[in-house]
Amino acid sequence: MTSITARRLRAQRLIGKPFASPVDVVRWLGAVQSQDYAGAKWALAQRSQATTDAAIDRLFDQGAILRTHVMRPTWHFVVPEDIRWLIDLTAPRVRLGLASRYRELQIDDRVAARAGSAFAKALTGGRHLTRPELGRVLSAAGISPEGQRLPHLLLRAELDQLIVSGPRRGKEFTYALLEECEPSWTSSSSADPGAEKSSRMRCSRSGRPRQAPWIAPRRSPSSHDGTFAATARPRSRTSRGGPD
């Protein structure tokens, strides 16, 4: 193993001392690609002390780990205290890339605002609804959810910092209001906490610059008792995804 390989594996926390909790993994990495939910859980388990599939599910359902579209139109795990500054930092580029698709789907600011209001009304008070249920919410509000309009309107509401992942209902994923799932960011030491933290994430603990560790996880089976085995595997980047 070359010194560069070893440094990258250590920076990605695939070798060396593991984190105490999967939440600490997400916090360290900043965001973990989670379009493949099962594979993303494996990526967290590779970097944390012996944990189980069920334990990570519980953390997700409790809101200790959130899932949203950030950095590009693909699901990522983030921690609650980081979600707003990450969206602030990356949403403009995501919106720019989706502009032509929004025109094709006849989604403008007025339609998005109406959809957001309908979502907010339906989810207020700790309610959690699935994608099909929110599609029916749109229909009741006189907004067509047909085709790709529903996933793109949900994505727009995420970029507008209105909705985020909720607890799973069986095998189905739900949505919740973001303001009911994350604390308000306060900082007395920096006028721009997002810029400060993104800079820290691009540096190793020794202070040397390194590539920001956005992880595209590989699906791997867990053992029969539900405990993940730690295996160090350097990750390659995946192709650009869409709202899912």
> In the chain, what are the domain boundaries?
21-201
How far apart CA 53 and CA 196 sit, in angstroms, is 33
Phi then psi for residue 157, to 5 deg, are -65, -30
Task: State both tokens at 199.
Answer: 């800079």
How far apart CA 55 and CA 207 sit, in angstroms, is 33
pLDDT of residue 202: 39
Q: Are 48 and 231 in contact (CB under 8 A)?
A: no
pLDDT of residue 66: 97
pLDDT of residue 1: 75
Residues 6 or more apart in contact with residue 85 via CB below 8 angstroms: 185, 193, 194, 197, 198
Q: Is 74 exposed, middle or buried (0-12, 13-18, 19+ CB in 10 A)?
A: buried
> Is the overall model pTM greater than 0.75, yes or no?
yes
* pLDDT profile of the chain (244 residues), mean per 10: 88 89 95 96 94 96 96 94 96 95 97 98 97 98 97 98 97 96 48 49 37 39 40 36 57
pLDDT of residue 197: 54
pLDDT of residue 87: 96
Across the beta sheet with 174-177, the strand order is 129-130, 174-177, 163-165
Could you tell me which of 227, 100, 70 has the C-alpha nearest to residue 164? 70
pLDDT of residue 50: 84
Euclidean distance between the first and final Cα of the chain, in Å? 37
pLDDT of residue 30: 93
pLDDT of residue 191: 43
pLDDT of residue 208: 38
pLDDT of residue 234: 35
